[in-house]
Amino acid sequence: MKEKVQVSGGTGLSAKDVSSGKIFVTDDSLDCAYAWDTGVAVNRYLAELKNGRIIATECRKCKRIMLPPRLFCELCYVPSNNWVYVQDTGVINTFSICHVHWDASRIGEGEKPHLPAVIEIDGASEGMGIMHLLNEVEPDQIKIGMKVKAVWKPEAERTGSINDIKYFKPIE
Amino acid sequence: MRKVAMVGAGMTKFVRRALETPKELSYEAAKTTLDSCGLSLDDVDCVAHGTAPDAFDGIHQNGEYMACGSGGWNKPTMRVFVGGATGVHAIAHGWYHVASGLFDTCLVVCEEKMSSAMPHAQGFFLTIFDSITERPLQPNLLWIFALEMNRYMERYGYTKEDMALAAVNNKRNGLKHPASQFTDEVTVDDVVNSEMMAYPVSRLDVSPVSDGAAAVLLAAEPVARRLTDKPVWIEGVGWTLDTAYWATRDLSYPRYLDKAARMAYDMAGIREPHKQIDIAEPYDPFDYKALHHLEGLQLSPRGKTVELLRDGHFAMDGNMPMCPSGGLLGVGNPIAAAGTMKACELFWQLRGEAGERQVPGNPRLGVAQAWGDLMQVSSVVVAGI
Ligand SMILES: [Zn+2]
């Protein structure tokens, strides 16, 4: 059968093409700095994390109790300014065992894998998860549906950050 | 609205690192497309181009900088910019330029050069996570896919072997694509035993980083009929966004795609896509995504996709070949260009011009889809002959 697929260009380079100096390369590195104001809703979320508590907002229309808290429900597009404390326990919705750093370099010998998870927080609406980390568990023991609880930093070390929760650990 | 057809298509090879600059890659794909239908830039009324994150190139307002590579000089030119969904979204974008009656022709060009980003393009995806509630956890891009894949597998009891079947299928098809960056076939064992990156994602579950470009020329009906006796009609387009609060969604089902697909099928008058569509090009940056997206595209019942895949339903000689191009897993994944490559494949397949990898039985209707950002955006195009 006749082929009329049109392909042109896309000349592959090898590492040697570059290292030998055959191909000229111009380098630069960007260092961008930002200071993000945390906004109306998340500012209070962080303030409560500093107090060792998790707070959510409830949508006035669909009644979803949402994490992270938000000024408005993005589904109903109405205010969601009813503040509700939720638990610092939850259920693992999904997890990963990650052997790669952010820049695609591999974790070193003896270094622990990253254990990210989506955790559905007790007291929030069903399916309302936050991304956080797991610890105090062997990676091969982690299961979807496992109950977990937040392990907080000592009060004096909390700064009003999602990292005021060090990680979540399994409870029986 | 006017009927719009694809009348030409072209692309560069997809390679790990290209000698060409982004502008040069765009030029190669666009010029080849124009040549394929015997047109010059003078015949082009407007340009719709796409390149995904500025951060890959390190050039702020990259679209404007790139535009002349896509033939945008002194023409109405607009950039589409929705991450991985860009390549198909740009087709929808070009479609309404022509369907509206404002322009008779539109050159759609999508490009990505990922190799400039050091040490690895993956690092630049960090900034898609929420800057306050997620980035302090030092996330890495793979997490989000691993979390989604794990949830999808758990929901239906799928195994890693099941997911690997999609990689094997697409990579096998891709070996016959003249633009593919791969030369070797892989087996399920190869995929499952490849380096574990982020459980459940192993290295061969993932498409590679690539440089490349792809383009199509769109024309209004009378122009299209003058240019070719085999116009490939854009029967429907759809695109939607889901919430950026990705961790609060049901990760086992791509809701972002459900609505985009229904929008495109409604426009195309398709009521039973699983029976009517002959060729599917679901977006497949990861093997599980091809299957997840077949479900979102309403081409496979939720949770039954692996069964159909094992039965050969999605094989080249099956009822609905999946990714006859090879997809991102089998050709390569230069982000924005990858989706457009899928539209190019529909063009070649529906005209019977795909050569060695031609789907048998004179396919008449195909769907291509792309997806991007925080598992959030999807774009769909239905094409027919
Ligand atoms: Zn609501």
Interface check for A140 against chain B (CB to CB < 8 A): the answer is: no
Range of the domain at A117: 37-170
Calculate the CA B81 to chain-centre distance: 14
B27, B245, B259, best to mutate vs chain A, most A CBs in 10 Å: B245
Q: How far apart are CA B54 and CA B365, in angstroms?
A: 34
Per-residue pLDDT tens digits for B183-197: 999 999 999 999 999
Mean pLDDT confidence for A149-166: 98
What is the Rg, in whole angstroms, of the alpha carbon atoms belonging to chain B? Answer: 19
Range of the domain at B372: 4-118+208-384
Structure tokens at A127: 């399916």
pLDDT band at B121 (very low <50, low <70, confident <90, very high): confident
**Which residues in chain A are closer than 8 Å to B11, comparing Cβ atoms?**
6-7, 10
pLDDT over 70 at A1, yes or no: no
A residues 107-126 lying closer than 8 A (beta carbon) to B? 114, 116-118
Per-residue pLDDT tens digits for B291-328: 999 999 999 999 999 999 999 999 999 999 999 999 99
A residues 2-31 lying closer than 8 A (beta carbon) to B? 2-13, 17-18, 23, 28, 30
A136 domain-assigned: yes
> 3-class SS at B232?
strand
**Which residues in chain B are closer than 8 Å to A18, comparing Cβ atoms?**
17
Q: Do B133 and A28 touch (CB under 8 A)?
A: no
Per-residue pLDDT tens digits for B195-226: 999 999 999 999 999 999 999 999 999 999 99
B159 domain-assigned: no
Q: How far is CA B301 from CA B156, B159, B274, in A?
A: 12, 18, 9
pLDDT band at B358 (very low <50, low <70, confident <90, very high): very high
Query: Which pLDDT belongs to residue B118?
Result: 87
Query: Which pLDDT belongs to residue B120?
Result: 84
A12 domain-assigned: no
Helices B86-99 + B335-350 axis angle, to 10: 60
**Cβ contact B166:B308 at 8 Å:** no
Q: How far apart are CA A104 and CA B121, in angstroms?
A: 9
Dihedral sign from CA coordinates of B4, B7, B8, B14: positive
**Which residues in chain A are closer than 8 Å to B56, comparing Cβ atoms?**
none
List, in sequence order, every residue forming a beta bridge with B233; answer none if it has no partner.
B5, B384
Structurally, how many domains does chain A consist of? 1
Window from A17-26, B263-272, B335-344 with minimum mean pLDDT: A17-26
Query: Which pLDDT belongs to residue B176?
Result: 96
State the nearest Cα–Cα gap between A1 and chain B, in angstroms.
5
- Token pair 């100096």 is found at A21
B123 domain-assigned: no
**Cβ contact B222:B100 at 8 Å:** no
B160 domain-assigned: no
Compute the mean pLDDT over every residue in chain A, rounded to the nearest whole number: 94
Structurally, how many domains does chain B consist of? 1
Mean pLDDT confidence for B16-20: 96
* Helix, strand, coil shares, percent, chain A, to 5: 15, 30, 55
Q: Do A10 and B249 touch (CB under 8 A)?
A: no
A26 domain-assigned: no
A residues 76-105 lying closer than 8 A (beta carbon) to B? 93-105
Q: Count chain A–chain B contacts defined by CB atoms under 8 A.
A: 208
| Angle formed at CA B29 by CA B166 and CA B231, multiple of 5 degrees | 80
**Which residues in chain B are closer than 8 Å to A6, comparing Cβ atoms?**
8-11, 32-33, 35-36
Beta strands in chain A (DSSP E): 54-58, 65-66, 82-86, 89-95, 97-98, 116-121, 129-133, 147-152, 165-170
**Cβ contact A103:B122 at 8 Å:** yes
Tell me the CATH number at B260: 3.40.47.10
Query: Which pLDDT belongs to residue A103?
Result: 79
Compute the mean pLDDT over every residue in chain B, rounded to the nearest whole number: 96
Query: Which pLDDT belongs to residue A2?
Result: 64
**Cβ contact B39:B219 at 8 Å:** no
pLDDT over 90 at A109, yes or no: no
pLDDT band at A97 (very low <50, low <70, confident <90, very high): very high
Per-residue pLDDT tens digits for A41-76: 999 999 999 999 999 999 999 999 999 999 999 999
Query: Which pLDDT belongs to residue A141?
Result: 97
Q: How far is CA A46 from CA A15, A117, A168, B243, in A?
A: 46, 20, 17, 22
Q: Do B178 and A105 touch (CB under 8 A)?
A: no
What is the 8-class DSSP label of residue B82? -
Per-residue pLDDT tens digits for B145-177: 999 999 999 999 999 999 999 999 999 999 999
Q: Do B179 and A116 touch (CB under 8 A)?
A: no
B215 domain-assigned: yes
Q: Identify the burial level of B225 via C-beta atoms within 10 angstroms of its C-beta, where 0-12 means exposed, 13-18 middle and 19 or more buried.
A: middle
Of A26-30, A162-166, B136-140, highest mean pLDDT: A162-166
Mean pLDDT confidence for B124-151: 91
A23 domain-assigned: no
Interface check for A131 against chain B (CB to CB < 8 A): the answer is: yes
Give the alpha-carbon dihedral of A34, A39, A42, A48, to 10 degrees.
100
pLDDT band at A30 (very low <50, low <70, confident <90, very high): confident
